[in-house]
Amino acid sequence: MAKLAHAQWSSRMTFVLAAAGSAVGLGNIWRFSYMVGENGGAAFVLVYLACVALVGLPILVAEWLMGRRGQKNPVDTMDGLAQANGKSRAWMGIGITGVLAAFLILSFYSVIGGWSLNYTLGTVTGTFNGGDADSIGALFNGMLASPGELLAWHTAFMALVIFIVARGVTKGLEGAVRSMMPALVILMLILAGYGISTGYFGEAMAFMFSPDWSALDGGVVLDAMGQAFFTLSLGMGIMVAYGSYLGEDINLISTARTVIILDTVIALLAGMAIFPIVFANGLTPGEGPGLIFVTLPVAFGNMAGGTVLGLMFFLLLTFAALTSAISLLEPTVEMLEERTSMNRITVTLLGGGGVWLLGVAALLSFNVWSEISLLGLNIFDFLDTLTAKFLLPLTGLGSIVFAGWCLNRQSVEQELGLSATGITAWNVIARVVAPIGVVVVFITGVVGLF
């Protein structure tokens, strides 16, 4: 059974840290930079920013709002709210697609978390010292070609996640997140400083912020929206679950703004750190998922203090990946725990084991299974595309439509604490702007795919 009386976050700060711990992860650094590179730069960045503001912010608020109203896990929250508002219980479906998306994402997320662990060790042992783009690219390709190496790191990363979730000590990580975020920002500034010293910073800034609109097509726009959902941990029930722990006195809109600004600043700084190195070394921005792993080690291998900075960077990245990964496993575990009679350790091992197995398929798609294709994509890309471009936007759309159209006015007013004008603005955004935004992007993108 669902827990009725939930514990609450001790303060707004604690809540912001927990939400930011989920939001800030590989999505901001690894995924953001390779998406920008693959989609030709600035046009993608600007559409992404628009998606974050016009779609991401309202959906984040909507997910927290429903979580705080529903007070249960995402599936039961949707069920309860639908019944309380006289709507079909089929709305539970968006709770289920959310949990499914989290499960699928974690499988390939853990593979990249493993790369990050591997590179943490690589900086310590001096693997990258004095390396150039060619030798570092060769190291990366060597890792991809070795199923055993990928498997070992994926397993290590997933084992850490399972260990932490099984012990239920995720709250204890908040203290660590508190120091991690500022450290990550400082390191990124140092890296951007290194980027300036390469003489290619201007080129990188132009790449990121001066758009060539002719590069814009449905695919780019859908990628930008998918990235907005992915990086903000939206459309997965995760923020709904977090909202259920949220105290009544916390202002949803201003808190969402804080989390979103933090998340966006980290992503933009990552781009400013990575692209100067790309251009200075004649690398291609469209390198794909390996982008940060073939660029940043070149900088660490050649800058003063690079070993220490590299170690700090990959440690922080691994840590950011861990806090996000925990938030990805938690919903599955919580739901199994509440709905079956199995204990926490068993359900974590089951859920985590399933994720691990799917991750093995994802990592094999870089080598022995590279020929296997699903709708023209390898397994890794298929999982990423299915979740970021389809499941997340559709689940997010369901949440905002429900929050905008199905929740009774009184509870929305009470939750948001807005003036009459504020509520009108919220209604326009939640009922019209955000849903239409998602639908238009989705349709243009899907048409572009085929």
* Residue ranges binding ligand PHE (CB under 6 A): 22-23, 25-28, 102, 105, 230-231, 233, 236, 238, 324, 327-328
Give the Cα separation of 282 and 113 in Å (integer).
Answer: 27
Spatial neighbors of 214 by CB under 8 A, at least 6 apart, are none
Q: Which is nearer to ligand PHE, 241 or 283 (CB)?
A: 241
CB atoms inside a 10 Å sphere around CB 89: 11
Q: Cβ closer to ligand PHE: 136 or 392?
A: 392
Are residues 292 and 30 in contact, defined by beta-carbon separation less than 8 angstroms? yes
| Residue 28 beta carbon to ligand PHE: minimum distance, rounded to whole angstroms | 5
Residue 148 Cβ, how far from ligand PHE at the closest point, in Å? 26
Minimum CB–partner distance for residue 161 and ligand PHE (Å)? 12
Q: Which ranges of 303-385 does DSSP label H, i.e. alpha helix?
A: 306-339, 344-364, 379-385
State which residue, 94 or 139, has the beta carbon closest to ligand PHE: 94
Q: CA-to-CA distance for 226 and 438, rounded, in angstroms?
A: 10
Taking every pair of Cα atoms in the chain, the longest distance, rounded to a whole number of angstroms, is 66
How many CA atoms within 13 Å lie on the side-chain side of 223? 23
Residue nearest to ligand PHE (CB): 27
Q: Provide the minimum distance between the beta carbon of 422 and ligand PHE in the complex, in angstroms, as a whole number.
A: 28
Q: Looking at beta carbons only, is 218 or 354 nearer to ligand PHE?
A: 354
- Closest approach of Cβ 117 to ligand PHE, in Å? 15
With a CB cutoff of 8 Å and minimum separation 6, the contacts of 291 are 30, 33, 34, 37, 274, 278, 285
CB of 67 to ligand PHE, least distance (A): 14
Is the CB of 78 or the CB of 104 nearer to ligand PHE? 104
Give how far Cα 302 sits from Cα of 87, 194, 198, 299, Å: 61, 10, 11, 5
Cβ of residue 362: shortest distance to ligand PHE, in angstroms? 15
* Residue 124 DSSP class: H
Nearer to ligand PHE by C-beta: 278 or 321?
Answer: 321
Strand spans (E) along 59-191:
none
